[in-house]
Amino acid sequence: MLEKISLNSANNDAGSDDIIGVHDLYKCFGPVRAVDGISFSVRVGELFGFLGPNGAGKTTTINLLTGLARPDAGEIFLDGLDVRKSPSAARYLIGVVPDESNLYPELSGFDNLCFCAALYGLKKSERQGRARELLEFFGLSEAAGRKFGDYSKGMKRKLAIAAALIHQPRILFLDEPTTGLDVASARQIRKLIAGLNRTGTTIFLTTHYIEEAERLCQRIAFIVSGRIVRIDSLENLLKPLKGQYSLLISFSEEVREQAELQAKFRSAFPELGFELVNGRELRVRSAQPVAVGPLVRFFEEQGCEILEARRMHPSLEEVFVELTGIEAEQMRKEREKKERANG
Amino acid sequence: MDKTEGRRRTFFESGVWIAFWNILVKDMRTYYLKPPNISWGIIFPLAWTGMFFIRTGSSFSSLLSLLPGVVALSILFGTTSLLAVTITFEKKNRSFERLLLAPISLQRLLLAKTSGAILFGVVNAFLPLLMAAFIADLRAVNWAYLLAAVVLIATASTFLGLFIAVAVSEVFEAQTFSNFFRFPMIFLCGLFFPVSKLPPFLRPLSYVLPLTYGADILHGAVNAGNALPLWLDFLVLGTFCLGLFALSLQNVNRRWIK
């Protein structure tokens, strides 16, 4: 009965264009504040990115939005439905692709899709038709009869996305969709995600691949330690970097006496902005083209051997580093660690 | 009203039963109707009965006194650990998460997951009865009471399996925890000898185990040998079913949807 009542009350309270509305969301696990008072909204048809390092609160946020976890405080609206009050009705609106495939290893790809369709009440002929259609779309028709457990990682991820789309949800949640995939599969998945978004599906994507967020998302939220440090469109995020010149200098070994070196650098090149990354790289920024020669000489005088000096294009990575203080290198290491752990 | 909205309305009118039925059918096909599980239902009562006859040297005429215990054991062993293991397995490989994401209520989802095991338990119960029909006279059996007892024992055992599944996180723990409940039940629940013959200090334990009441109904149905009033047996067994389900529901809510 509750399910029926809540359907009648479905309207878009979050705003005319917003399909996801989150207000002051909190979630603690013991002393750890996994989600610490976040608020944001996602517009209809948008591909929204949630970018942050491991443990930032991305998966917890997805779990809260999809009803797999209960918030300690705060409100979540999906297409105007209060997720707390109408959990079942809200779940009909969404498709979820978790960071690890959660389909049935003993069922074939086709049977998995049919079963997922049945969970949303599709009749047998509809289920089979939709399953065939999606298998075709994802290029899995030939593997339709094979057990899911025998699929490759890329195929598993594709089928997991297909399963999430089986009931044509309004919102698709993708949790780290390309983690652990080889380059070709990851590229294919990204193409599919972009294609789905072009057909009008609203997508909420969490990732710790900065390049992935930059390539796919229209708006991005940076999340660190459970807090959103910035939300904006990709264009606005990159705006301050336009017309800036950037150089990345790599040293052969970690710089000793870093504070002293930085002070000397500041007085030698007062017109340049800079950050020392991991003690082995120096990122230099300027409104003018940066001459490499004087920099090389300066570092040679300081006894620092330069391995490489690269001109950098303005990228989201720089914005991320500036806003969060977390180095991209650290994110990469975490990603590799996670991928190793996933086998 | 757009397409999604239309489908969503249809779902909450009739689609929930499609979901319910398909969860049940998938579990039956994937887990319960597998040859090892079917053979378990045949081999276990055969072995138990054979052991009894060899040990006691009894004739087949004493089969009727043995039958309620064998039926109860077949149900208990067929349902409790199987459900506990399958749910723990699905929780471990995260496919249970997919069910939690489906737009059906948690009560209905858990009922769908347990219905397959209950059916399996009922079928298991009729295997020893079928075998007994060839060698003993079952005309005196009260089939209405027997069927009611079989369904209630299967339900209570399945919900015990659900309770176990929610309490553990590893498949091997589910097995161990199931045995922790099941093996004492063989001796404490009056399956093969009356509770009154147990040492007095063990008797209170018998009366907190649901199978005691199920076995008593079965004894009543097969050879009018019930020790307690049947209405009390039904009442207590029914209460156990409701209590175990409510407890499991609460635990899933508390432990799995944190």
pLDDT, one tens digit per residue, over B35-61 is 777 777 677 777 877 887 777 777 666
| A30 → chain B, closest CA residue | B258
| A111 → chain B, closest CA residue | B26
- pLDDT score of A1: 28
Per-residue DSSP letter, A147 = B
Q: Letter for the amino acid at B113? A: K
Rounded to whole angstroms, the Cα distance separating A270 from A273 reads 8
What's the Rg (C-alpha) of chain A?
23
Question: Are A246 and A273 a contacting pair, CB within 8 Å?
Answer: no
Question: Are A247 and A309 a contacting pair, CB within 8 Å?
Answer: yes
Which helix (DSSP H) or strand (DSSP E) does residue A184 occupy? helix A183-198
Mind listing the pLDDT tens digit for each residue in B88-108? 999 988 899 999 999 999 999
Instruction: Show Cβ contacts of residue A165 under 8 Å, excluding neighbours closer than 6 positions.
Output: A95, A134, A172, A196, A201
The pTM score is 0.82
Q: Interior CA angle at B152 toward B151 and B153, to 5°? A: 95
Rounded to whole angstroms, the Cα distance separating A254 from B126 reads 75
**A66 closest CB neighbour out of B4, B12, B101:** B101
Rounded to whole angstroms, the Cα distance separating A178 from A181 reads 6
Which ranges constitute the DSSP H helices of A177-327?
183-198, 210-216, 234-238, 258-268, 292-301, 316-324
- pLDDT score of A288: 83
Q: Letter for the amino acid at A119? A: L
Query: pLDDT tens track of chain A, all 343 residues?
Result: 223 323 333 344 444 589 999 999 999 999 999 999 999 999 999 999 999 888 889 999 999 999 999 999 999 999 999 999 888 889 999 999 998 888 999 999 999 999 999 999 999 999 999 999 999 999 999 999 999 999 999 999 999 999 999 999 999 999 999 888 888 888 989 998 999 899 889 999 998 888 899 899 999 999 999 999 999 998 888 887 777 788 888 888 888 778 888 889 999 998 888 888 777 888 888 888 888 888 888 988 888 888 888 887 777 877 787 777 776 656 666 666 666 665 5
Contact residues on chain B for A7, CB-CB shorter than 8 A: 8-9, 12
Could you count the other beta carbons within 10 Å of the beta carbon of residue A252? 10
Q: Per-residue pLDDT averaged across B225-237, rounded? A: 94
Contact residues on chain B for A92, CB-CB shorter than 8 A: 4, 7-8, 11-12, 103
Whether B1 has a pLDDT exceeding 60, the answer reads: no
CB pairs under 8 A between A and B: 98
Contact of A104 with chain B, judged by CB distance below 8 Å, is answered with yes
Q: Letter for the amino acid at B41? A: G
Mind listing the pLDDT tens digit for each residue in B150-187? 999 999 999 999 999 998 888 888 888 888 888 888 88
Q: Which long-range contacts (CB under 8 A, 24 or more apart) does B204-208 make?
A: none
Mind listing the pLDDT tens digit for each residue in B194-219? 899 999 999 999 999 999 999 999 99
Contact criterion met (CB < 8 Å) for B101 and A116: no
Contact criterion met (CB < 8 Å) for A120 and B7: yes
